[in-house]
Structure 1
Amino acid sequence: MSTLVTGVTLDSFDRLPNHTRRCGFWVLDPATDSADRQTLDLELENEAWLSMIMLEWGSCGQLLTSHGATAGCAIYAPPGAVPRASTFPTSPVSPDAVLLTTLRIESEVDREGNSAALIQAVVSDLVNRGVRALEAFGIRRTAADETDVPRATASLSCSDTTCMIDADFLEKAGFDVIAPHHRYPRLRLELDRDHGWKEDVESALERLLLAASLTMVDIEHKDAVGVR
């Protein structure tokens, strides 16, 4: 299978997108000033943060690979383990919910399908663990902001526009706004009943798998006829 979603482990930390491994937006205390941030090894901070959550709580990430290469990831955690979770105007996260902090895609090819695959993997993991809901702080973008799911490149600095998930995308994925805000709404996906997200996610996954199959067939055909 050319496209695969697997749980993040410490052994697979190095395979996370470059920006995710160095992102301080969710991991660091927002009160940390810029001078202190410049002296920190952000990759080490992220690895330590993920390690703490895995040891104390369990699985907290999903890694998407395509043809063996990193294609994206999703990170989620108990809100108490996320320093920035209490700073939004729509805080706090509901006590029965896990917080989805990161949904990052590496390629423009089938962004919605890849995003849907990650969301489904997160939901499946949390449902199996008896979690009641998944919440996220979305961002309502302006014309000056970058649109769609954030791109994961090492050059992107950490900010709300580069590190938060687009609120419109979350709504399309089945999340409901439970704390409205013009910039930072808080959204929720109930996991203890059917919300209609299942059919949309499964449809997106079918398109993703079909696209991957067609790509492999095309590559094999070109190899067979000697096309370069």
Structure 2
Amino acid sequence: MSTHVITSLRLDGLDQLSAHARRCVFWEMDPAALHDARGFCDQEFEKEAWLSMVMLEWGSCGQVAVKDGKPLGSALYAPPRTIPRAQMFPTSPVSSDAVLLTSLRLEPSGVEESLGPALISAVVTDLVRRGVRALEAFGIRAHEQESASDIASATAALECSPEECMISADFLEDYGFEVVAPHHRYPRLRLELDRDHEWKVDVEEALDRLLQAAALEMIQVGELTRV
């Protein structure tokens, strides 16, 4: 039975992103420039150019989940100075010691596997190892006619909008983010990345190693029994 795998995004692995994630430039292009270029802009090219720039300057800026070679979901994050739309919110700017989590995109099969928290955990693990102090995000509050799950879950639609391209504030709060700049629609939230997170990462890795060792031992015992 196959299971999903979460890995850091690489330039030679952009096919692990969903169709929307590969061409969505909601965060990566200046909104005015995007509006002026509408109909003439190769969004997939612009997204790849942005990813290349960030990876060369800063390192991997995403976590991707795949199963049987197909995208299940992704989370993208980067220094705020590299993200044009980060300056456009009523709750801007992002704190100087924080990295900005821009998107959490899940395919329907990824939603079923509850990959959202797993992708956030992978982001946290990466940033703790890189010595980042905090992770921030601009959340979105649902209108009365919307549900938070509708906003948190991605679709295959190619149109970009706050509802499609932002993360539910409720989801972020459930994970442990705290509101540091309140707003009725676009609050800014923050997750402190302290030694507790690093300790948790080390413990989880140790448990994984123990479980793998135990599974290997059971397989070896089973083979000896058959002999």
TM-score where L is the length of structure 2: 0.81
Percent of counterpart pairs with the same letter? 58
Q: Kindly provide the amino acid, as one letter, of the partner of residue 153 in structure 2.
A: P
Q: CA RMSD in A?
A: 2.0
2:153 pairs, out of 150, 153, 156, with 150
Instruction: Name the counterpart of 2:27.
Output: 26
Q: Kindly provide the amino acid, as one letter, of the partner of residue 155 in structure 2.
A: A
Instruction: Name the counterpart of 2:162.
Output: 160
Whole-Å separation in 2 of the counterparts to 1:91 and 1:134: 14
Pairs within 5 Å for 1:177-196:
177-194=179-196
Q: Kindly provide the amino acid, as one letter, of the partner of residue 101 in structure 2.
A: L
Q: Note the C-alpha offset of 1:15.
A: 2.0
Work out which of the two has the higher radius of gyration on C-alpha atoms and give 1 or 2: 2
Instruction: Report how many residues are paired.
Output: 198
Instruction: Name the counterpart of 1:171.
Output: 173
Instruction: Name the counterpart of 1:81.
Output: 82
Matched, 1:68 2:69: yes
Q: Note the C-alpha offset of 1:109.
A: 5.6
Where 1:39 maps in the other structure, the secondary structure is: coil
Q: 1:118 to 1:130 in 2, by over 3 A?
A: same
Q: Which runs of 5+ in 2 are unaligned?
A: 209-227
TM-score where L is the length of structure 1: 0.81
Whole-Å separation in 2 of the counterparts to 1:26 and 1:111: 26
Whole-Å separation in 2 of the counterparts to 1:109 and 1:34: 31
Q: 1:133 to 1:50 in 2, by over 3 A?
A: same
Whole-Å separation in 1 of the counterparts to 2:163 and 2:26: 11
Q: Kindly provide the amino acid, as one letter, of the partner of residue 166 in structure 2.
A: M
Q: Deviations over 1:183-228 (max 9, x none)?
A: 0000000001437xx69xx8xxx9xxxxxxxxxxxxxxxxxxxxxx
Q: Deviations over 1:54-104 (max 9, x none)?
A: 000011000101233210000000000000000100000000000000101
Q: 1:100 to 1:187 in 2, by over 3 A?
A: same
Where 2:39 maps in the other structure, the secondary structure is: helix
Higher helix share: 2
| Contact 1:22-1:43 at 8 Å conserved across structures | yes
Matched, 1:113 2:114: yes
Q: 1:132 to 1:55 in 2, by over 3 A?
A: same
Q: 1:112 to 1:83 in 2, by over 3 A?
A: farther
| Contact 2:141-2:148 at 8 Å conserved across structures | no
Q: Note the C-alpha offset of 1:125.
A: 0.4
Instruction: Name the counterpart of 2:12.
Output: 11
Q: Which runs of 5+ in 1 are unaligned?
A: 207-228
Instruction: Name the counterpart of 2:139.
Output: 138
